[in-house]
Structure 1
Amino acid sequence: MTHPLRLSHTLSLDGARAFMEACLDPASDPGAVGQALLDLNGRPFRGTELTAFAQVLRGHAVAFPAARPSLDTCGTGGDARQGVHTANLSTLSALALAHLGVDVVKHGSRSASSLCGSADLLEALGLDLARPLPLLEADLDRNHFVFLFAPRFHPVLARMVPIRRALGVPTVFNMLGPLLNPARPAYQVLGVAREEWVLPVAEALAALGLERALVVHGTTASGAGMDEASLEGATLLQPVREGRLLPALRFTPEEAGVRGGLEPAAAGSLEACVDLARGLAGGLGHPDYSRRVAEEVALQAALGLALVRDRDLAWLGALVAEVRASLEEGLPLPSLLSLAA
């Protein structure tokens, strides 16, 4: 019998499930697991395999009950803009959407490669990552926003931390993280840094039963990949609806109604990322308010609004304008993050 960590050219659903279970098994040799992950990196990722891997990991997760259909905004990381660090746009757009009344269950962790992961940013803004589960449920009901700190809901993945750290390169787990929200949201905006990841991730989302989703891949003015919609170049969207993939779409910043000529808002430290977030929270009159960050957040959040409201791209410009106007008034971070509770 073939060892489950030894890869064949194509893994069946059962073979892929066995592979992931072997990765998680404490009896498996860490070196063999690491080599298997490197071998997996050496070939294209497949939607059926991502689906099977996610099903295994979801089966080990601590569930989070969400009373109403919710949205998650997230990215795979791996942004290819050389040496450029910006605010955590998926987290800021999640907060902007919650302020607009969308139920957002944000699932994330600390940064593995960037300066500012979602947990890093929210903790620095005052969120208690160890907030008890009953209070998390109340947060979503009261504030339309809750953050699920991934290590609390996926304890089985603790085994993978030293293995992934020793490898020092992205693995399939970077792609799987966004597929593992324990609330099982009905809607998801999921950014991927490489165009070749768009199709397999979309196939996995379709198989995992989301009502509607958008897989997003942007490009900079120089053509580098981004795991978010772009203010500089074209953005590719792959819509998913009730188990099937719809035709892919591309749009330019001009078609999305975003403002041109904005300077990049770089952040060279976690503290700088926090300053950008606080400036955004303070609204247009705050000294740290960045029009660039506000426009980037407005674009990402507009895609979430389009998804939840079931609007097509013809509405994108109007949705960007709606979010922009809300951001100019400021985000009430203390209430959104339950700091006033």
Structure 2
Amino acid sequence: MSDNPATSSTPDRTDWTPWLVYAAGCLLSWLLYVLAGTEFQRGLWQLLEVVYQATLQLWPAMALGAIVLPWVRWLQGRGLGTATAVALHVACALLFGALWQALDFTTSLLLFGADHAFAVFAQTLLWRAIWGAVVYTAIATGFTALIEARRARRAALAAAQAESALAQAELAAITGKLNPHFLFNTLNTLIALTRKDPHAAEAALMRFAGMLRYVLDTKRSAADRVALADEVDFVRDYLALESLRLGARLQVDWQLDPATLQDEIPPLSLQPLVENSVLHGVAPQLRGGCIRIVSERNGMNQGLDLTVADDGPGCDPARLADPGEPAGGQAPRTGIGLNALKRRFALDYDGRARLRVHTAPGAGFRVDLWIPQ
């Protein structure tokens, strides 16, 4: 049990909880002593006598017990071995009994004289030694358990805070990857367009400027949320740019439930999936293809269901996590977009959001999202 005193013992010293617990234990012991020795039928004077005896007998142990708390803290802060700690506790238990006997003897000497004090000392020497060890053990064990429990709670809290900070840092890193990924691919599209149609490229650059503003505005925090309607507008602009390059080969089927348009989602959640369908499902095919974008209210849990699907060549599901060789004649659909979204949802929603992929060679590619609201 080795802890840095600077980090573990300081909060205990400024906290009154251990002292309040000890005071409550002392009061309970005193009350039990009084109740055990009281015969209520004998009247008030007998009750007062028992109260007097309880106070006289217990006050030395209670006073000495208050020293045990800082002693236990000191031992725990030293990081001693088990054998050394046990030996020190045994010595302190004997010392506790001796000091209890000394305080009891002094009290009797002052109140009743030397003869009475020596007589009581002779009668209670062994009993005081045994009870001193028992009481010390009980007090030391209680304080140790209390300190360890509070230390464990602080450690658990610190671990949870560190894990949360790590998750936020990773989430920010993922968001930082998604934004340049989108920008890089869109700029490639614009470069290709300038060679094919400079006038269309100029109009596309103006549209791209608005898209860039959306990306920069949503990069303030990894935990930002945007309305689905804003993300849809962003995706429409992106698809408009791609249609300048692909023309009639790019078809889009929008199936949006108006009741879901104000639902909140992380920014750039929909666009990477649409981009994935454009690059892998539509662009490689001479005949082009159709992308279907669906938003619905989940009837069971009131979450947001999103679907992005295309009728492209699809791929082997076993190759989704392998960015290497092609699967079924097509490149597997991995990369920053899909993988980052999976990790983002796992972090951002504590594992509650879901991302599922449905695909097979020749059967298209569909991604279903469920985002809690």
Q: TM-score range by the shorter chain?
A: under 0.3
TM-score by length of 1: 0.22
CA radius of gyration, larger in: 2
Q: Which has the higher contact order (CA 8 A, sep 6+)?
A: 1
TM-score, normalised to structure 2, is: 0.21
